[in-house]
Structure 1
């Protein structure tokens, strides 16, 4: 019986759950979006977090951190699992046990819908297998995602010189040009955060994409930095702030979560200087992968064909990221589990999904 094989448990999230965070950091499908710090961040913005897990021989072998939120005048409550659940998807029995725990959590919180977005790459799981796993666990594969499903990954295992040599020639030139034009990069302090937020909003307006409120980025930085898992790097010229990036580290992965640049002194290539410093920071802190976090959700051929002309959505930032010549990768996407058909209908209407 499964009850004899697995020791099950569940708990409300805690602020200092080192065991859980270590599990997330060391699991192949782990992500900073499943950490205690992310739960603490979202709790400041009207979400509640809850964990379920499965143990075997006393060790965590699978789990999920679920975020809950009520929308539509508190009439619709949903559960959301960013980059979760964390499980060996090849172990179908373990997957089934974990989803049994997840179902109990959803019922306990009286949510009508669960959206999952596991951190599983398409190259590691075929579309057919993903469809089968979803069907076996009463999940509906969904077309809408909350986290960007497609990204660019830079391998940090080579030397810094080899990483630099892998970039496209124009990007290498711009990185070196920024140094010749006296751009310097430094770590931010707390007092720099308002200026960093202004850079974010300037970039959002210039490239026509949404950004979070200033307190969101500040809270994110503070929560992850207190454990040494975040930094903000700033590029300056003669004391004038020109560009900045927010980096989040989880295990051996570093994510370029947010960044912005000024409309001034752009010929000094500060964004290239700070991005190269970010890649070096990640490597120096033991990371083997640098995730550039978000590309247009198109295959590599379409990206290459359209990057010169397209300016909508994430196409503008893709032109910049393309120069770093990482591997384009996509997760399997999202899936929904419906516990209340009316709530699911309201959710899809709000998201503009037919």
Structure 2
């Protein structure tokens, strides 16, 4: 397909946008200038293989004239889901696109992107900008717990100015933040995540950053003979069995099948060997806990954790996380992302238990910009978008 050329932005800048092949896309992710951490795993080409029922497109764009003319300056993995009974699709860029969000001329790439998606039959678009919004350190969160309290009630330790600017730019262009501004319940990806910084820290620093309960539990696991190792695809059924137990015990449901995790494991590791690992904690020969870890560039994510209902006193999950933290540090990761935490700070709320557990690692709660949506031009598209939102709410 030929490049789509437009004149866009607040000034005379011109941009091109076109489909790109997988290798070109991956090369851009690997060499992206000015991004020490690298992209999220949801924008890797392999993620399209994990999501059945969605079509995918790899798109790239860059300046048409001036410095860097013809070179890529941004890319996006776009997932397209057809709305039942129509030929129209919902376009989703999970935690994307991958671009320079500090560039004030956002229209230079956003306008051609929306034009292209409209040509593909999209009636609405959802994106997940990468800049952070606010951060709270572990001490601040611990000190702010209380009946009915939420993160939005607590003064942040840090506000990211870029995140504030990006949010203002999107609102000015008619984009709407998904769900409640306080909680992000309508976001497909967690708005509040927990991250442990690793850059410039030694293993001793990581150990001293753990609270006393975590250090005590790790020592207990070691004394009890808990053994931690890396499994393989043959261990996924046991991981999934433990995950089912965890969902029943803790009152949540991810809605994923064993086949989903097999597909994820195969797709991510085919793209980059070792991209997804399955860690297992055994005690007296029995697997008591299993956690998945994903690595892209210098970022590491603890994605999904599962544990048995018995022998919890030997603390297999703490042992697993300590091993995963050390492995992430040893491979040069700059941060260890423990993924989502709820917005509640109410100790009586069952969901707060997850936050309490992650706080013990001494990291930070980070509020991302969350996900943003816009309906594409046209009365019919706006009507279909309203119907789609109602459909998703009922699901």
Q: TM-score with structure 1 length normalisation?
A: 0.89
Q: Which of 257, 260, 280 is 1:216 aligned to?
A: 260
Aligned structure 1 segments of 4 or more residues deviating by more than 6 angstroms: none
Query: Relative to structure 1, is the Cα distance of residues 71 and 15 closer, same or farther in structure 2, using a 3 angstrom cutoff?
Result: farther
Describe the SS at the equivalent of 1:232. Answer: strand
Distance of 1:25 and 1:35 partners within structure 2? 17
What is the root-mean-square deviation of aligned Cα atoms in Å? 2.4
Distance of 2:242 and 2:34 partners within structure 1? 33
Give the unaligned 5+ runs of structure 1: none
Q: CA deviation at 1:15?
A: 7.2
Q: Which residue of 1 aligns with 2:57?
A: 50
Q: Aligned pair 1:322/2:355, yes or no? A: no
Q: Which has the higher helix share?
A: 1
Distance of 1:171 and 1:267 partners within structure 2? 13
Asked if structure 2 preserves the Cα contact closer than 8 Å seen for 1:23 and 1:60, the reply is: no
Q: Which of 120, 145, 168 is 2:131 aligned to?
A: 120
Q: CA deviation at 1:248?
A: 0.7
Q: Which residue of 1 aligns with 2:192?
A: 150
Q: Aligned pair 1:205/2:242, yes or no? A: no
Query: Relative to structure 1, is the Cα distance of residues 245 and 16 closer, same or farther in structure 2, using a 3 angstrom cutoff?
Result: farther
Q: Which residue of 1 aligns with 2:372?
A: 335
Q: CA deviation at 1:138?
A: 3.2
Describe the SS at the equivalent of 2:93. Answer: strand
Q: Which of 30, 35, 45 is 2:44 aligned to?
A: 35
Q: CA deviation at 1:109?
A: 1.9
Asked if structure 2 preserves the Cα contact closer than 8 Å seen for 1:235 and 1:244, the reply is: yes
Asked if structure 2 preserves the Cα contact closer than 8 Å seen for 1:6 and 1:54, the reply is: no
Q: CA deviation at 1:16?
A: 7.8
Q: 67-76 or 196-205, which moves further after superposition?
A: 67-76
Q: Which of 258, 261, 272 is 2:304 aligned to?
A: 258
Query: Relative to structure 1, is the Cα distance of residues 182 and 73 closer, same or farther in structure 2, using a 3 angstrom cutoff?
Result: farther
For residues 238-249 of structure 1, the aligned pairs below 5 Å read: 238-249=284-295
Query: Relative to structure 1, is the Cα distance of residues 84 and 221 closer, same or farther in structure 2, using a 3 angstrom cutoff?
Result: same
Q: TM-score with structure 2 length normalisation?
A: 0.80
**Equivalent pairs, count:** 341
Asked if structure 2 preserves the Cα contact closer than 8 Å seen for 1:33 and 1:82, the reply is: yes
Q: Which residue of 1 aligns with 2:236?
A: 193
Describe the SS at the equivalent of 1:247. Answer: strand
Distance of 1:272 and 1:26 partners within structure 2? 35
Distance of 2:207 and 2:33 partners within structure 1? 27
Q: Which residue of 2 aligns with 1:135?
A: 171
Q: Could you list the per-position Cα deviations for residues 132-178 of structure 1 after superposition, in whole angstroms to 9, with x for gaps in the alignment?
A: 21134332232221100101110112111110111111011101110
Asked if structure 1 preserves the Cα contact closer than 8 Å seen for 2:62 and 2:109, the reply is: no
Q: Could you list the per-position Cα deviations for residues 110-147 of structure 1 after superposition, in whole angstroms to 9, with x for gaps in the alignment?
A: 11111111121003246752442113433223222110
Q: 233-242 or 123-132, which moves further after superposition?
A: 123-132
Distance of 2:251 and 2:209 partners within structure 1? 30
Q: Could you list the per-position Cα deviations for residues 16-48 of structure 1 after superposition, in whole angstroms to 9, with x for gaps in the alignment?
A: 843143156973572111111112222xx1111
Distance of 2:228 and 2:33 partners within structure 1? 28
Q: CA deviation at 1:5?
A: 5.5
Q: Aligned pair 1:230/2:276, yes or no? A: yes
Q: Which residue of 2 aligns with 1:288?
A: 334
